[in-house]
Amino acid sequence: MPSQPAVVRRATGPGLRDRSRTWTIVAAVGVLVLAAVVAFGVTHLGYLRSGHRHAFVTWTLIAWVVFVLAVLALRFVPRRQATWLVVAGAVVLGLAAMVGQPNTSSDSARYAWDGIVQLHGISPYAHTPGAHALAGIRPDWLFGSPTAHVVPQFDGPTYCPGDRIQTGRDTLTNHRLCTPINRPDVPTIYPPMAELWFALVRSVVPVTATYWPMQLAGLVVSLGVTLGLLAVLRRSGRSPWWAALWAWCPLVLSEAVTNSHVDVIGAALATAGAVLVAYGRPIWGGIALGAATSSKLIPAIAFPALLGRARGWLAALVGVVVFAVLYVPYVVSTGPEVLGYLPGYLTEEGYEDGSRYALVSLVTSGTAATVVVGVVVLVAAVLAWRLADPARPWSAQVLMIGVTFLAVTPRYPWYALLMIPFVVLSGRWEWMALGLAITVRQMWPNTDAYRWWLLGAIIVIVVVTLVRTPRSEWRRWANLLVGRRILAP
């Protein structure tokens, strides 16, 4: 007589309920503590500046420690409660991140200005913020009056006070302009989808509204990503606590909400596009991916892992078309000026001469460094293409994005917003170490120190990958690399 299959009974009873309640309370308290830490930093530390960096580093590390502990507690919370806790925590933490002005970047001031300019029917690529032609639409909160020097100084009788304030000049009168807009004497750098986003956000608020519209918009998009990740996790049968790696992450709270970086749009659209392609919707996926690339060019690196099947190539083709179509109105109105400050930015950041690359510069420099970085990124793209599971390409996308960041070594943590949703979907939490390394680099901009932080992140990534990946998976990857067909058992 055949043996009966064992019946697995879910543990129940007061003991389990008490433990579940305890972990739920611990996770909720962790969220509240993290919210307090975030709010304190946003309201008390002021704006990141030279000579004021130790406090920001300490604050950042404390926030990450609390974040990790809260997520660890969430792992032991039952799924239904965990789902609600992830969402509620995202709302609470997002509101905490909104209680003060941007504290590490003034980019959202440029976003607001570009939106205001477009709402007056003017191309954001046509003029610099200092252009006299735009003098009549400059709001007071973006263009303040200079202050007179008590003692005459070499730079004139007035100056612009404030840590986040830049000095510009009116192109006709040469009068000093005091503005939080970064690089006020150059045109905007942002691609068309980003500009449409800026105009949309500013279209529903008065011109006197300051930073909060972009912060609220960033929170809404971040919550949308959280809900989308929860939906994918539920469909794949995975625990909802993974979504907290995005929803509660200090990097996301700072860069998507407090500092309102448009990269959150790129991350949201790239994630949606990849999921749609993986689930057999290449047209819609391509539209989302094309829009993502037109919000910030970097989301284009999400494509290689999707090219293992014909639908991925279709999505790529659609994405290219969408990217081009979004540029058309701006090219028609502005011409080649649509490139904005992008060429100047690449030169300023050291990407053209190779001085930007913190790791590659250890072995080579100049043009050779740029070539090496290009080869590394190309190899990562080939690996992502060959190793990706078309139904679940997330791990390959994390590999592609993460290796690109290690090669390019960006200075700013908002670029890592693109990586985190794919960390959630893939379960490769070890790559969060790279996000932390880039964050600390912004707070403490020392190249030698940055190399050590990146080395620490690499060690975490390599060790955890070696420990977690079963031998069968290594064999599968080897077979894929050499082109062997893998047969289903």
Handedness of CA 110, 111, 115, 121 (dihedral sign): positive
The widest CA-to-CA distance across the chain, in whole angstroms, is 102
The DSSP symbol for 392 reads: B
Closest CA to 355 of 411, 402, 399: 411
- Joined together, the tokens standing for residue 18 give 């008490």
Query: Which residues, other chains included, contact 321 with Cβ-Cβ below 8 Å and sequence gap of 6+?
Result: 286, 290
Position 159 scores a pLDDT of: 80
> Which is nearest to 247 in space by CA: 56, 31, 25?
31
Residues forming a β-bridge with 168: 177
Six token digits for residue 272: 């949606």
Work out the angle at residue 103's Cα, subtended by the Cα atoms of residues 264 and 301, and round it to the nearest 5 degrees: 25
Q: Which amino acid is at 459?
A: I
The residue type found at 106 is S
How is the chain split into domains, by residue range?
A: 11-102+211-261, 107-193
Contact residues for 241 (Cβ-Cβ < 8 A; gap 6+)? 71, 74, 75, 77, 82, 86
Q: How far is CA 320 from CA 264, 317, 470, in A?
A: 20, 5, 37
Give the DSSP per-residue string, 430-476: GGHHHHHHHHHHHHS--HHHHHHHHHHHHHHHHHHHHHHS-HHHHHH
- Residue closest to 314 by CA, chosen among 272, 291, 280, 268: 280
Give the CA angle between residues 113, 117, 119 to the nearest 5°: 115
Helix H or strand E encompassing 157: strand 156-159
| pLDDT of res. 15 | 66
User: HSE on the CB side for 330, CA within 13 Å?
Assistant: 26
Report strand pairing: 176-179 vs 166-169.
antiparallel
pLDDT in tens, the chain (489 residues): 344 444 434 445 566 677 889 999 999 999 999 999 999 999 999 999 887 899 999 999 999 999 999 999 999 999 999 999 999 999 999 999 999 999 999 999 999 999 999 999 999 999 999 999 999 999 999 998 888 765 555 566 778 888 889 999 999 999 999 999 998 988 898 999 999 999 999 999 999 999 999 999 999 999 999 999 999 999 999 999 999 999 999 999 999 999 999 999 999 999 999 999 999 999 999 999 999 999 999 999 999 999 989 999 999 999 999 999 999 988 887 777 777 666 666 666 666 656 689 999 999 988 899 999 999 999 999 999 999 998 999 999 999 999 999 999 999 999 999 999 999 999 999 999 999 999 999 999 999 999 999 999 999 999 999 998 888 778 877 777 776 544 333
Token duo for residue 228: 């989308």
Q: At what angle do helices 394-408 and 432-443 cross, to 10 degrees?
A: 30
pTM of the model: 0.92
Helices (H), 260-341: 263-278, 282-293, 310-334
